[in-house]
Structure formats: structure tokens, C-alpha cells
Amino acid sequence: MEKIGIGLIVGNRSFFPDHLCKEGREKLLKVLKEKFEVITLSEKDTKYGSIENYSDAKKCAELFSKNREKIDGIIVTLPNFGDEKAIADTIKLSGLSVPLLIHAFPDDINKMDVKNRRDSFCGKISVCNVLYQYGIKFTLTENHVVDVESQEFTEDIDRFEKICKVIKGLKNLKLGAIGTRPDAFKTVRYSEKILEKNGISVDVIDLSEIFAKISKIDDKDKKVKEEIEKFKNYTKSEEVPLISLTKFAKLKIVIEDWINQNDIKGIGFQCWTSIEENLGIVPCAVLSYFSNSLVPSACEVDITGTLSMYILQIASGLPSAIVDLNNNYKDEKDKVVLFHCSNFPVSILKKPKISYQEIISESVGKENAYGGVIGQIKKSYFTFLRLSTDDKHGIIKGYIGEGELTDDKLETFGGFGIAKINNLQKLLKFICENGFEHHTVINLSKISDPVEEALTKYKNWSLYIHE
């Protein structure tokens, strides 16, 4: 996976010990270069590659500006007190608008003499004050000062990396809407204009165009045969007739071509009932395959659901699933049955298989309903996220939290899981009172904290944090 690019600013106060900047910079670079591509001034550019005045700020800003396409985040480090004005000027002059992490080295209580005292603790407060005045948003380490060689700092930069990935992933994002939403599902309506205002475009294509492209592909085409084998290797599919597998293959080929031609990162698909009546399959297996391959794919043309899937995916590096908050589980107030027919990525399921979709088969016939991915979601902790466009206020809003998927038993069909979420009844009231969709998104990872910071601090989206 491509490394995140980090611009490094080493702050220095001219009358504080310079050697601390040299030592601190070397230690930090060693840590950062294991994880990031680092862009920073060299020791030839300024004293120890640090920034202590306006001249240094201009040099660093110019370097950052020249490398703007490589820089996804900035880290400011304070080996001594630092010069808050020079640091803020560097960021302002660079013109970059990326996540920013403020780090300060801890003092050694046994080295508080004039030659070794850092005062970075105090300097960090001053830097943050001036950044606040400049209107520059920033992220803080968990503790005020932290050793760069500690596990604690490793966790800080892991968190910051996720924030950078989310913000980078949302730049010039394009999603694809395939078909129209099911008529009854006004729940998944969304505003393209609000998304566009937030830098997210939606390309659309009618199902008739998809069907026309499929009709031109021969069953014996080499690529069709290759795709059939991919589906057979994807998960158990012995129950699926060859004619249905062939249709899966063709649908995947056409969608994949459209995605690649238009640089689309995720899709929402019209999953019923046109495709069953015209092509004779349910598309769930194809959507599952895409999601499992990190192209998030939501059913029922739920584009803001797709957006939610994508954000959790890029933060975690793992596939997301879109689920219905579907049923109570017995009388346990903090448990809910998550369900879909389903298009879940098989990597999140226990003993998955592809078969026919029981609900839709009642109206279109079993022979036209093959493609449902069946199985129970694995026991795991998870993060949930739901984003929505709010036309009344012209904003993107959402909710986020974490829970646990359990091993509780349930006799049912489709894809399902039993989720335990603390204070679930409070969350459900929030969802209903604030007009959220019946869909939510899950990802088998614990990433709510960095995602929340990325979306609220750097995107200014309205997010309820459920605890």
C-alpha cells in the first residue's frame, strides 16, 4: 500500500539548546521513515533542519508547496520550546490544508540545567495558541508530551495516519450510482449537491446501459470464463447454476470497466427488481466481491451508505458491510440483529456460501434469484458509521460508535449477525428522531476515534459519537 506523505516541521527557539533539535530530529526521522514518506528541511537548509524564524519558515513553506501532491499530513515536533510564530507562518505560507499533528518531547527531570532543559511542554501550549489564532486546525497526541521511541507515540502516529488516510481519500472522491433506487425506499434518498459541496461527486448510469453492455459479451469469452473461476474460488457456490455464474461474471466485467474508466471508488446498486426480471440474478454476490476487493458496494442505491463504507474501509484497510438494523434479539435491550439478503463481503462471514435469495425469489422465482451471500458475521469488535445528507440544514451529518459482534445463535436466512452495542436504545432513539436511514455500516475494526476526528475537525461534518 502507498505510504502516506508527511511534512515534518522541527521547531526551535534560538536561545534554547540547539543540540536538542539535532538529536530530536534524528530520533523522530528514524521512527517516521519506517511508516511514512517524510518531506522536511535538511541540515544544509537551516540549522539542524529546524525552523526558528521567518526566513526558515519561507524555506520550509516553499519545500512543502513544491511537494504538495506528496504531503498528506504535517507533523510539528518541539525538541525545545520552539518558535510558535515561525511554525504557524510555515503552515500558512505553504497553502496546505491537511491534518496537522503537534508533538512535544518530554523533559528529563534529571537534566533541567540551562544546557539540557527543553520547556517543550510550555512551548506546545504557545504553538497551539497561535495556530488557533491563525484558524489552523490541528490534532494532539494522547498525552501532552511523549517520547518518540515509546509505544505511546507509535499509537499516536498510527491514529494520525488513519486521520490522514480519511482526509486524503475524500479529496476529489467519485462514487457511482447504478440504476435508480427502489421506489418505496425514500429512506435512501440523498442530495448530490450537498455531497458536491463537500468535494464528493456522483456519476450515474442506468441499468439499461449495463444490460446493453452485458448483451454484447459472449458466454464463451475468455474473460467470462476467468471471472466464473474467480467466483468459484471466492466462496462456496456449488448450488449456483452455471447460467447464473455466467451472468455474475458478465455483470462484474461491465461494472468493473465502468468503475475503472471513471475512477470510481465505490458504488450504490439498484438491486431489485429490475435486474432479477431482466437479467435473471440478484447482484449481491457481485457487490460482495467488489466490497471484499475494497470497492465498497451498497445495495438499494444507498450512496451515503457507500460513502460510510468507504471511509471505514480506508481508515482500517478492511472491507466494510452495509447492514439493516433489522430485529430485536430476544428481550436483550443492547442487542440487535444485523441483516441483509445479502451482499456482505465473505471475509467477515463464518462459513459463507452463495445461493438463492429467499425473499426476492417469492416474487421473481428461484431461478432468477441466485446470488445471495449467506452466512453469519464473525465474532469481533466493530465500528459502525452512518452518514446522511440533511437537506434542511445543507450539511452532511452522521453517527459513529463501536460494538461487539457475538456468537449468539439465530436460525434465519441471508447474511446476519448479532451485535451488542452499549446504550442501544439511546442510539435507536437518536436514529429515529434525526431522520437516519434503516441502513448502517460496520467494519470489523476499532477505528471510531480517528474517523470521528477526521470528519468533525477536518471536514466539519456533524457527527454524534455514541458511547
Under 8 Å between Cβ of 390 and 303: no
Strands 395-405 and 415-420: antiparallel
CA distance 260 to 73: 27
Specify whether 12 is located in the same domain as 86.
yes
CA distance 200 to 184: 26
Quick one: pLDDT at residue 128?
Answer: 98
Residue 51 has what DSSP assignment?
A: B
Quick one: pLDDT at residue 1?
Answer: 60
Which whole-number Å values give the CA distances from 17 to 29, 30, 49, 159, in the listed order?
A: 19, 21, 14, 31
Specify whether 185 is located in the same domain as 124.
no
Specify whether 282 is located in the same domain as 423.
yes
332: CB partners within 8 A, 6+ apart: 420
Structural domains in the chain (count): 2
Q: Whats the size of the chain, residue-wise?
A: 467
Specify whether 324 is located in the same domain as 429.
yes
The CATH number that applies at residue 192 is 3.20.14
Specify whether 240 is located in the same domain as 98.
no
Which of 140, 169, 198 corresponds to the end of one domain? 169
Q: Which residues of the chain have pLDDT under 50?
A: none
Q: How many Cβ atoms are within 10 Å of 26's Cβ, its own excluded?
A: 13
pLDDT in tens, 388-444: 999 999 999 999 999 999 999 999 999 999 999 999 999 999 999 999 999 999 999
Which whole-number Å values give the CA distances from 462 to 140, 238, 378, 434, 452, in the listed order?
A: 20, 46, 31, 12, 10
Which of 146, 169, 192 corresponds to the end of one domain? 169
The CATH number that applies at residue 125 is 3.40.50.10940
295: CB partners within 8 A, 6+ apart: 259, 265, 266, 267
453 phi and psi, to 5 degrees?
-65, -45
Helix (H) or strand (E) holding 225: helix 222-234
Domain of residue 422: give its range.
173-465
Under 8 Å between Cβ of 73 and 4: yes
Specify whether 400 is located in the same domain as 314.
yes
Specify whether 131 is located in the same domain as 279.
no
Which of 122, 140, 169 corresponds to the end of one domain? 169
Quick one: pLDDT at residue 16?
Answer: 86
CA distance 255 to 282: 15
Residue 68 has what DSSP assignment?
A: T
Collapsing DSSP to helix, strand or coil, 112 comes out as coil
C-alpha cell, 186: 425514500
C-alpha cell, 21: 533539535
Specify whether 111 is located in the same domain as 202.
no
